[in-house]
Chains A and B, each alone.
Chain A
Amino acid sequence: MKQTINTENTQSQMRKGVLELCTLSVLAIGEAYPTEIIEQLKSSKMMIVEGTLYPLLTRLKNANYLTYRWEESTSGPPRKYYKLTPEGEALLKELENTWDEMVDAVNKLLKENKNK
């Protein structure tokens, strides 16, 4: 049984933790289908593999934070366009606040320790 902490694993856990927030944030701008979300997340280096997003979207949808509609596509299968529900918007606000607080707190902590 491995008990060692894997750096890569820790990083991916961190990323996964904020993936929900980022996804909600992307959708806050407007409707998007998964590939669009993925592209934006990838461009900001928030995502390594795409597979992670689909279960997340489904979970958020099932928890009523998202809704979607089908749209035919010329280049492939029909696409699911997701958008935030009012609950989703509320969740985003909450998560944004938490994030800001956390970033401030962590940065402060790191800086303090570095200057010691």
Chain B
Amino acid sequence: MRRLLLAVLCVGAPRVGLAQERGDAPLTIVAPAAPGGGWDQLARAMQHTLETEGIARPVLVENIPGAAGTIGLARFVSGRAGDPRSLLVTGLVMVGGIAQNATPVRLEAATPVARLVGEYEAIAVAAASPLKSLGDLLQLLERDVGAVSWGGGSAGGTDQMLVDLVAQARGLDARRTSYVAFAGGGEARGALLGGQVTAGVSGVGELAELAARGLVRILAVSAPARLPGIDAPTLRESGVDVVLVNWRGVMAPPGLRAADRRRLEEEILRMTRTPTWQDELRRRGWQDMTMGADAFGRYLVAEVNRVDRLAQARRGEGAGASRSLPRLPLVLAAVLVVALIAGRRQAPGRISTPQWRPVALIIGAMLVNLLLSERAGFVVGATVLFAATAFAFGERRVSRLLPIAGVFALATFLLFRGALGVALPIGSWWTGVAG
């Protein structure tokens, strides 16, 4: 029981106290994804190693999820320019997201620090599939590109990149491939096992697990040489000159002084040499692919170019079956309008005495809360929202209302921040930090 309490306390314990001891600003690692995913795990493994080995302390992890990491990137580049103590986790998937969505903030805006880990891709078929080798699959593909369905992760991600690269390497039109995008790796593997798709594309680790249980057969891996423990040839050996690694690394904000950049690089490279880091890699099944800032910078340029070309090739008319339903919103809007007009007669009778003022008050309070939250912080915004709503619902004793609103907002703030580590906004007016 004591251990449980300790563990719970550790989860919620504020980490700020340590900062004063060393007289150093905390190092913030921005994970541009929700907790639990690959980027978040990398950020937390770094946090653990850097703190345990005493390289940097304290280390904070901030999650800014959304749109393949491009939202985190935009916030990082604009909000932390020149900040010498912050890092952004990035990877091939972010390069893909930028190319796919043609986002304004590109990876080149940030400063490369180091590539850290990576995983090769694998192509597999269900154990019951008649396809025995990559050659069999390629033969099928060359007979009719569209007839081979590939199951993998989200559109424009690493898995689809591999499919496109394989098709292009064989001189086929990548736009005609039948790539089935699944929201999560679990769904994609389910479709592969159930024989819903011809072949599955995923990270080697996940497919190797299924192969070890005799559920799938790995046809090829995207590594430059055979991988230990995996009984499959490389793509190159099978006549497809493609190497692809789903890498992850860290970048610093733009506008950094050379000395600050060198310090970050030195800290990170020192981290990769510690036993704690090697232990993290083993435990999480990651391949060490450490690369210093200069080499990583050159590597990034090459990767960005390659992915941009792939995204361009995928665009335009003549794409295969993988087409969205572009007129869907229009059709829906038309149905909406027609149904509203047709149903107008059915609408029930009006309320006798509608009260517009309290409604306006509450909507106004929601807007004020929206405008205030980032600047004045959650507590102020929520107090306004609470007080205005209670007032709108007829509570007129302001002297009683305001303290209740304030206490409720503060208690909610402390509960979420303290016990869960969910950062409700403090407010830039008080902290002096933008964003």
Q: Do A and B come from one complex?
A: no
